[in-house]
Amino acid sequence: MPEITHLSATEIADAVRTGSLSARDVCDAHLLRLEETDPGDDGVHAYLHVTAGAARAAADKIDAARAHGETLPPLAGVPVAVKDNPNADYVKMVKTEAKCSLCH
């Protein structure tokens, strides 16, 4: 299997659903990749706020649901990034103004 961070969303979802990968392993791999490629002031610094704890907690809930035989949603375990979403207050994100001018 290729490196976790090189898998497509459907490959990750299938692997998490079948148990060949845990959602926590997927989460940790992507967080590590983010640390390696976006190291704060010395890197691109594309993410102003990373909710690693919340991501790990969500991954653990997915793994527990799978372990209990629950049917997982289609994209369970697939990491997502939320960029400049004005409705993302629930994660208390720091918002930038890098919005598409065509979207106004």
Structural domain harbouring 34: 4-103
Q: Averaged in consecutive runs of 10 residues, what is the pLDDT profile of the chain (104 residues)?
A: 89 97 96 82 72 93 97 94 64 46 39
Q: What is the pLDDT of residue 17?
A: 97
Cβ contacts of residue 12 below 8 Å, gap of 6+?
Answer: 4, 21, 26, 77, 78, 79
Q: What is the pLDDT of residue 34?
A: 87
Q: What is the pLDDT of residue 103?
A: 39
Report the number of distinct structural domains present in the chain.
1
Q: What is the pLDDT of residue 36?
A: 85
φ, ψ of residue 87 in degrees (nearest 5): -100, 15
Q: What is the pLDDT of residue 45?
A: 72
User: How many other CB atoms are there within 10 angstroms of residue 72's CB atom?
Assistant: 15
